[in-house]
Structure 1
């Protein structure tokens, strides 16, 4: 999206020329990127020594163009805080693409079932966004709009590209320096942690960004808004990471099979890093709301220098040295990302840690109880996973209720009523 989507969302008034300029630039950019990807596909396949990747990359690359077609529909709905329409679209796309993927897998299409599933989801997502939020470009391009939006969005684009590249660096290093089986175990662990981490936090971040963007001129209200987001996201993400770490072995055995059990240590290490994910993302999000995408880029460069250092130190100690180095770099990133939160909103890292302390302490208590319980429980991995998850959730919520934490108060007075209202509108 070249950062244009975030630029549009924080605009107080989106003009038609802004929309048209954004659409034209993104559409042309997606075609150029696809052409580059098309011709780079053989080199990518050669790097991974997998000839089949050539056409897989070329076909999946078409999603760049497909997704660019609905950038305006998605951005305007987000700016209007209309997540009901987006939820309906995503629900239909997930179900439709899932059916296609399952049918193709059943008939033996192998990896192409996944390629088709992702492609069908992109097509359905874009198509239904056009149907439910119709808009046609005027095909007018304004350099004034482009300079204004790209001035903000280009920094986000560069930050995202740098971040995405480094997200895959560890995979590349493991694939090159260690056995292929280890890369498989690490990738499976990453998938498990990301499934919990991304699904829990991305929803919170997606909803909070347009809401807080409207408070950008009131620093006092903006700080209070961020405090609530950090508290609420911690309330959900920290126990999710703790429980996944504690139940890593039964979760892997129950969900993907015993052969993936060697992934468990990686899952646990990544869960330790996952506890910081929302911290880092929220602090960067604050800079975007304030229009300082230039600072997010500077921070990204500093953090990646730390990651390079962590790789250099950790790699000689083997795969665990490499992964532990990445975990440590995530905690160092907390100090880097929170610097401007303290400077602009007077919201220091110390204050942030104090705000999430109740959820952290209660999560560790619940995790300790689940660990003790799981060691005493005989039986199938699925049973241990279900009982452990239920017991951990009940203990966690029970401790919060007994402690009468601010998080529970926010959930009772704000979240539950708004959720009921949302479901009433949806159904």
Structure 2
């Protein structure tokens, strides 16, 4: 901290590294499981249309969120030195811009609703634009917690606010027939409560400060904002085209299918992202350590994700009918391409934090622009055919983005293509073996009711994975994750099971 600029806000700094990863992972698992269960229950209560209307609002909110933070949250984490004046400047900029975005959204909501042929969605979109102000109240505080790697406090607040918003507000509102407004109210309460708790946990100064902070904060923040915008375009242009071409019902089907798949992906990959960015930012001058972190994290994510998403790709009907019920039958064909796309996205998720920590945001931005130039024509072509064709275009686009970013990430970390490829050998084996067992079980148990069949197929997949872990897990752990997971810290049962 610079002298003469006031005390840094109150914050407890926990143990770093494994403790941060543990709490971030635990929080993401609890939140993702909660979202998974609550999303299923609300989907059964409300049906596709309310989710389609909210998805329309989130298309615009997603764009606004890319700018609302102005990239300053990431700059705050990445920066080596930080002052109280920097925090005040960042908070002031975020709040002013949030008010601007909210006002702009309220004025433009009717045009957004008309674009999607849903004029009755105007009031819903206007109400949801207040999320910008509610989120901005806690953005700086959340960045302070990430910078100090205090993921325990951050995750506790995130989970508590989500459960409060959806269990105490969302469910009762849906039960009493408020439809889409139950989703709106739950999200607004969640966001406001989260920000209040974040500010209380960190005591971030809320006094406005309009003088520009350090130039490198502004420069880094603008590059992050541009990268986020291009990343959002890749992740959300499909919903824009689908909503316009096929309507809100098909958009709701597509959105719920993608959300179902993104839930475990977020639970897995997002748990690494925050810790990766913070830890690599603190060790950005140690290339050997960053290389080791990248390869081992990639191996861990691949080992977890290949069995899950390759299996989902081969048993789509069992998943959709077992989870959502017969009214969501039309979503079955998009599950296969979207499962594979989400798998690729999980591998992409760990590249961004490493490049950002090394101040290589421009590299990521360049590759994303190339991807967008391919994605837009692909969407224009595929919406002329079907929703399924769009889903396959999404997979192809994510593959191109993965190839481009892999090349640059290997160059930055100094890892070779051979070292990178070696991290996939066992994960691919896991994915192929588990998915084959699941497909066989689905075929053999086709006479069962959907939920019973889903349960049985999931059990077969889990047992198959345990067998593969028993046979190959120990070797994979020692070869590809030797420093990320120390064998001596494993329980006796885990060491015996893995033969290490």
Helix, strand or coil at the partner of 1:338? helix
Contact 2:318 2:442 in 1 (8 A): no
- CA 172–137 in structure 1, closer or farther in 2 if over 3 Å, else same: closer
Helix, strand or coil at the partner of 2:70? coil
Contact 2:284 2:290 in 1 (8 A): yes
- After alignment, is 346-355 or 361-370 more displaced? 346-355
Match of 1:257 among 325, 329, 345: 325
Matched residue, 1:232: 300
Contact 1:17 1:141 in 2 (8 A): no
Match of 2:486 among 413, 416, 423: 413
Contact 2:269 2:349 in 1 (8 A): no
Equivalences for residues 77-226 of structure 1 within 5 A: 77-98=145-166, 99-145=168-214, 147-178=215-246, 181-226=249-294
Deviation of 1:181 (Å): 4.5
Deviation of 1:5 (Å): 0.8
| In 1, Cα distance between equivalents of 2:489 and 2:253 | 39
1:328 matched to 2:401? The reply is: no
Contact 1:369 1:392 in 2 (8 A): yes
Helix, strand or coil at the partner of 2:424? helix
Contact 1:100 1:116 in 2 (8 A): yes
Structure 1 regions of 5+ residues with no counterpart? 419-427
- CA 415–17 in structure 1, closer or farther in 2 if over 3 Å, else same: farther
| In 1, Cα distance between equivalents of 2:127 and 2:261 | 27
- CA 181–340 in structure 1, closer or farther in 2 if over 3 Å, else same: same
Deviation of 1:70 (Å): 0.9
Deviation of 1:8 (Å): 0.8
Contact 2:226 2:365 in 1 (8 A): yes
1:354 matched to 2:422? The reply is: yes
Deviation of 1:116 (Å): 0.4
| In 2, Cα distance between equivalents of 1:68 and 1:133 | 15
Match of 1:13 among 75, 81, 90: 81
- CA 101–416 in structure 1, closer or farther in 2 if over 3 Å, else same: farther
Matched residue, 1:337: 405
| In 1, Cα distance between equivalents of 2:80 and 2:70 | 20
Deviation of 1:61 (Å): 0.7
Matched residue, 1:65: 133
| In 1, Cα distance between equivalents of 2:489 and 2:335 | 32
- CA 351–275 in structure 1, closer or farther in 2 if over 3 Å, else same: farther
Structure 2 regions of 5+ residues with no counterpart? 1-68, 492-500
Helix, strand or coil at the partner of 2:228? helix
**Which structure ranks higher in relative contact order (CA pairs < 8 Å, sequence separation ≥ 6)?**
2
| In 2, Cα distance between equivalents of 1:197 and 1:152 | 28
Deviation of 1:7 (Å): 0.9
Deviation of 1:414 (Å): 6.8
Match of 2:356 among 282, 288, 304: 288
CA offsets per residue over residues 285-322 of structure 1, 9 Å max, x none? 22101012222222211111121243345444443333
TM-score (norm 2): 0.78
| In 1, Cα distance between equivalents of 2:420 and 2:377 | 27
Matched residue, 1:370: 438
- After alignment, is 119-128 or 328-337 more displaced? 328-337
| In 2, Cα distance between equivalents of 1:239 and 1:2 | 37
Deviation of 1:245 (Å): 2.2
Equivalent residue pairs, number? 417
